[in-house]
């Protein structure tokens, strides 16, 4: 496999990594919540935006490519938070299979 050069100096966005978690809703049940996992540096590149209707409401998701240093614990369904904006991880891969970086395809849902 070919080597991929990624400049670590371009990992200039401060991100919070969060995992989904069930949180008590105060009425004896549980609701969806997020648990902080780590603060890390990454590169965020907006890719495209598209408008669609979902359940009668207009949605305009924006897709991003997020590059970070390799982590064993990152999974599909987790999310990054960039300046209060959640970027949900849709897919991730190691570009050269050398465990140096991960490239994540993420989606930010905007109303």
**Three-class DSSP labels, 20-78:** EEEEECCCCCEEEEEEEEEEEEEEEEEEEECCEEECCEEECCEEEEEEEECCCCCCCCC
- Examine residue 1 and state whether it is found in any structural domain, yes or no: no
Q: Is the pTM of this model over 0.85?
A: no
- Examine residue 85 and state whether it is found in any structural domain, yes or no: yes
Contact indicator for 90, 77 with CB cutoff of 8 Å: no
List of the chain residues with pLDDT < 70: 1-4, 50-60, 109-111
Model pLDDT, residue 39 = 97
- Examine residue 62 and state whether it is found in any structural domain, yes or no: yes
* Residue 25 domain boundaries: 11-108
The domain that contains 99 carries what CATH number?
2.40.10.270
- Examine residue 4 and state whether it is found in any structural domain, yes or no: no
Model pLDDT, residue 8 = 82
- Examine residue 2 and state whether it is found in any structural domain, yes or no: no
- Examine residue 3 and state whether it is found in any structural domain, yes or no: no
- Examine residue 6 and state whether it is found in any structural domain, yes or no: no
CA–CA gap between residue 32 and residue 84 (Å, rounded): 18
Nearest to 41 by CA among 5, 66, 4, 75: 66
The total domain count for the chain is 1
> Residue 103, Cβ neighbours under 10 Å: how many?
17
């Amino acid at each position: 496999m070919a080597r991929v050069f990624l400049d670590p100096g371009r990992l200039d966005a401060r991100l919070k990594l969060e995992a989904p978690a069930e949180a008590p809703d105060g009425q004896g049940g549980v609701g969806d919540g997020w648990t902080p996992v780590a603060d890390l540096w990454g590169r965020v590149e907006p890719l495209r935006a598209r408008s669609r209707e979902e359940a009668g409401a207009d949605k305009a998701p924006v897709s991003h490519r997020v590059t970070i240093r390799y982590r064993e614990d990152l999974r599909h369904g987790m999310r990054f938070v960039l300046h209060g904006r959640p970027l949900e991880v849709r897919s991730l891969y190691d570009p050269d299979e050398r465990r140096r970086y991960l490239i994540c395809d993420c989606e930010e849902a905007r109303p």
